[in-house]
């Protein structure tokens, strides 16, 4: 029975690694789920459903706190830092958020300089602005209005 507990524990650990460290899904999550399923299936077949659930629950109660503590310790090691991005984007290093003046464009109208398919450019309040529609095609030289701004994304609609 100890081997089955070990398989369940390794499976849970692989699922935690998938959730907290590795991007995407599959590299550790699928083998982890398979190990858990196989171990529970064997325990159910050999010892009965009640015993399989008891051992699985006991393993979860023991492994989850150990996995959380272990993975937070791994993040501080050089191997853990190889998986986790530690870089920040500071203003002093030249990184800037979207211009705040874009937010002031909401409700203003202008003229499409290029066809919007759905992205293009427009002249709004005397400034050339990269814009996007909500999916519709808008020909060039059409009057447009800014609906909302998300970061540096200016969303417009046609006034014609």
Q: What is the DSSP string of 62-76?
A: HHHHHHHHHHHHHTT
Q: Which residues have a Cβ under 8 Å from the Cβ of 26 and sit 6 or more positions away?
A: 18
**Residue 8 exposed, middle or buried by CB count within 10 Å (0-12, 13-18, 19+):** buried
- Measured from the Cβ of residue 34, the count of other Cβ atoms closer than 10 Å reads 13
> What confidence score (pLDDT) does residue 96 get?
66
Q: What is the pLDDT of residue 78?
A: 86
CB 14 within 8 A of CB 35: yes
The residue ranges of the chain whose pLDDT is under 70 are 25, 94-99
What pLDDT sits at residue 141? 93
Before 118, cis peptide (omega within 30)? yes
Q: What is the model's pTM?
A: 0.43
Tell me the H-state helices in 75-160: 78-83
pLDDT digits (tens, 9 = 90+) for 23-44: 776 788 889 889 888 888 888 8
CA atoms within 13 Å, Cβ hemisphere of 102: 18
What confidence score (pLDDT) does residue 119 get? 94
């Amino acid at each position: 029975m100890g081997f089955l507990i070990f398989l369940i524990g390794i499976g849970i650990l692989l699922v935690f690694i998938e959730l907290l460290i590795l991007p995407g899904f599959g590299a550790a999550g699928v083998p982890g789920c398979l190990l858990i399923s196989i171990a529970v299936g064997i325990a159910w077949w050999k010892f009965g459903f009640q015993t399989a659930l008891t051992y699985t629950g006991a393993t979860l109660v023991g492994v989850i706190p150990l996995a959380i503590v272990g993975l937070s310790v791994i993040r501080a090691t050089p191997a853990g830092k190889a998986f986790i991005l530690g870089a920040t984007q500071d203003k002093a290093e030249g990184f800037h958020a979207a211009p705040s003046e874009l937010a002031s464009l909401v409700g203003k109208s202008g003229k499409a300089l290029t066809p919007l398919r759905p992205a293009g450019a427009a002249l709004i309040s005397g400034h050339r602005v990269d814009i996007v529609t909500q999916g519709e095609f808008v020909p060039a030289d059409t009057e447009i209005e800014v609906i909302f701004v998300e970061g540096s994304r200016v969303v417009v609609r046609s006034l014609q």
